[in-house]
Chains A and B, each alone.
Chain A
């Protein structure tokens, strides 16, 4: 089962639709099929693109324009919406907070998971299977069940409203899937290089850091992107563990801002804030679209 899932990730399926499946028929029926297909696809594409375009357009308008002519293009581009969102609505601070949390938590997730996955994939020892399934059990449970005790645990550790508390929790909740993925990945790597190095007297530590990790780079990148999205978009955990408004992460700050702006009627700053928040994800998506697709798919098919 696990190998079935890992395979398509290592070699992503080609983007283009398969051609000429049903050979020998190319008539009115095909033209009609393609016509209907294009119609439906264009419709859905507009459904997806339109709200985002509207959001970006709105983020360049003044508040009166938003309220009284929500349909028209802005008269002049209100770049100051972005500076207001960044400074006065504190989106800049939330953005930095998100980075402060996510850089160490991503690095930690990848390091801790790859060490555990390497051992689980490459060494025989008693309890190995049990440990593997113990980690996999974490894939099954909703975070909700753990929410209340987690809150108190973090409080008892005096890490409520601290970056390190959030970092450790992010890493912990990213482990099951990352270990699952990387264990499969390490199993597919050839053993000869490591064995040769061992014969040459290299230590296990050196072999891991100098040989195995570089070889596992594609898997690490896939998991880096996957966890970047998961952690950057995380909302529930900071909502519970980060009550300090000065340390809000981006998604949390944005939700807070949405409630605030609902009263203040400063729509333009809110839309600018949403656009700012979307940009990193958009960039990652455009740059790594293929890898991301396969990573997320593996996540869905983990059962």
Chain B
């Protein structure tokens, strides 16, 4: 298959390369450059200001606040999501007989993941609505009136109310991943453990958990990256972070506002580069911290 192969290779690769180069690679490279300028977008010239934007970012309390919210999300979101998803996956796979309705539960749990984050965000902002909302209604119905509040209007609950929605919509997705991973463990491992008299918890702790470790750390990185982004839900559920929504502003939303409301393109790009560096650092750190012996089977 070697004759004139370049007559095929070049026209077949060219469209992908052009689109990818122009709309993906080039903007990324540009963003790094723009982050060293004080460009406001009106003039074609982009005055070079060196590290000024980064220095400003370092001293910007609003950015620090936003990043600290990302950090809080980063701690809570993976823990809660993985804990719940792992529990469900274990319920499906670790029992001695199949769970009745297993495929029904799978289909239902997975569903929120495929729904647009915009719908999920709007729907939940009404679930949290102080007067007509589902949540306060349910709390009232079961006699927990004292817990009723304006979930998205209250500065202490707003961020966590949004994080809860992220957990709600993605648990089924990670559950399905863990189920697949657990089902790839050979049955003989479990039979051996049973013969040794291991109970269900020991089996899970000593066999299942170590053998799905690789999957767990991959999903941990994946959720970590989501925690550093978190734009769409916050944007939709706070109406763009205005008013009391400011209390849930994350770095990506701040970037968006700096760029598209304030035309501070240089500064916004610097925030983008910081987010990129943090994302890469996070992946490396998680890889390092979670490294342990892998088990081949």
| Contact of A235 (CB < 8 Å), options: B102, B116, B176, B259 | B116
Determine the interface band of chain B, counting residues with CB < 8 A from chain A.
35 or more
Q: Tell me, rounded to whole Å, the shortest Cβ–Cβ distance linking A274 to chain B.
A: 5
Contact present for B172 and A48 (CB under 8 Å):
yes
Number of A residues contacting the other chain (C-beta, 8 Å)? 109
**Chain A contacts for B215, CB-based, 8 A:** 301
Given the known inter-chain contacts A19-B98, A236-B231, A301-B218, please indicate yes or no for A172 contacting B20, CB distance below 8 A: yes
Do residues A123 and B187 form an inter-chain contact, with CB atoms below 8 A?
A: no
Whole-angstrom distance between the Cβ of A131 and the nearest chain B Cβ: 7
- Chain A residues with Cβ below 8 Å from B260 are 151, 240
Q: Which label, helix, strand, loop or mixed, suits the secondary structure of the B interface?
A: helix
Q: For chain B residues 103-121, which have a beta carbon within 8 Å of chain A? A: 103-119, 121
Which of A17, A141, A235 meets B276, CB within 8 Å? A141
* Chain A: CB-nearest residue to B174: A300
Instruction: Determine if B24 and A146 form an interchain contact, defined as CB atoms under 8 angstroms apart.
Output: yes
Q: Would you call A285 and B276 a contact (CB within 8 A)? A: no
Q: Is A160 an interface residue (CB 8 A)?
A: no
Contacting residue for B99 out of A17, A120, A175, A303, CB 8 A:
A17
Number of A-B contacts (CB under 8 A): 314
Considering only CB atoms, which chain B residue lies closest to A53 in the complex? B134
For the complex, give the distance between the alpha carbons of A292 and B176 in Å: 12
A176-B20 contact in complex given A17-B99, A255-B236, A303-B221, C-beta closer than 8 Å: yes
Q: Interface of B with A (CB < 8 Å)?
A: 1, 4-9, 12-13, 15-17, 19-20, 22-28, 30-31, 34, 41, 84, 87-88, 91-119, 121-127, 131-134, 137, 168, 171-173, 176-177, 179-180, 183, 187, 190-191, 193-194, 200, 203, 215, 218-219, 221-222, 225, 228-229, 231-232, 235-236, 239-240, 252, 255-256, 259-260, 265, 268-269, 272-273, 275-276, 279-280, 283
List 25 A–B pairs whose Cβ atoms lie within 8 Å, in order of A's numbering. Answer: A18-B187, A21-B187, A22-B95, A23-B191, A40-B88, A45-B109, A48-B111, A49-B108, A54-B127, A55-B126, A125-B9, A138-B25, A144-B255, A145-B276, A148-B27, A148-B265, A172-B22, A176-B24, A232-B116, A255-B121, A271-B126, A278-B119, A284-B114, A301-B218, A303-B283
